[in-house]
């Protein structure tokens, strides 16, 4: 083999190596671009979902604000009663039956909203557990409404 053949062989080998390297680099860049495109699609989808969740939360907050405002208006329209003094607490039994009341004066007026009834009963000295039992609603809902009322700054 002479020097020209070796030089030609090295040039071809170097050219093939450079072509293979450039082809590999282009493939890696394309793969990176493809992955980033997929990632961007997922992010856009998550943004759309988050946006719809935010809109729903905003609607719920608006409704809650309107309900609180209605409660304030009802509370202002109601005459203030003196709190009923509590009797000594009776120890609770595990299977205590619900008390049956036949007096309609013991229950709040039917024309009031549930929230107004809850606030009135609390003002009269009832516990959240008793309120939930008498109104046949979840205790967590009663506590939430009382907390919302306390946080809104109204005096009950």
Nearest alpha carbon to residue 142 among 112, 119, 111: 119
CB 53 within 8 A of CB 61: no
Which phi and psi (to 5°) does residue 106 adopt?
-75, -25
Q: What is the pTM of this model?
A: 0.36
Helices 114-123 and 3-77: crossing angle in degrees, nearest 10, is 60
Query: pLDDT (tens digit, 9 = 90+) per residue, 24-61?
Result: 999 999 999 999 999 999 999 999 999 989 998 899 98
CB 128 within 8 A of CB 89: no
**Which two three-digit tokens encode residue 28?**
């890696």
Q: In this prediction, what percent of the chain has a pLDDT beyond 70?
A: 75
Break the chain into its structural domains and give their ranges: 1-73, 108-156
């Amino acid at each position: 083999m002479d020097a020209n053949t070796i030089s030609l062989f090295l040039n071809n080998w170097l050219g093939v190596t450079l072509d293979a390297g450039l082809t590999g680099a282009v493939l890696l860049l394309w793969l990176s671009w493809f992955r980033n495109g997929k990632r961007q699609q997922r992010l856009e989808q998550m943004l759309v979902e988050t946006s719809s969740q935010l809109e729903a939360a905003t609607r719920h907050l608006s409704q809650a604000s309107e309900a609180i405002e209605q409660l304030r208006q009802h509370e202002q329209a109601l005459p203030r009663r003196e709190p009923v003094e509590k009797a000594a607490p009776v120890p609770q039994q595990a299977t205590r039956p619900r008390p049956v009341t036949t007096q309609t004066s013991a229950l709040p007026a039917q024309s009031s909203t549930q929230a107004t009834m809850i606030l009135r009963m609390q003002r009269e000295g009832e516990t959240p557990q008793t309120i939930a039992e008498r109104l046949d609603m979840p205790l967590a809902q009663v506590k939430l409404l009382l907390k919302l009322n306390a946080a809104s700054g109204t005096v009950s």
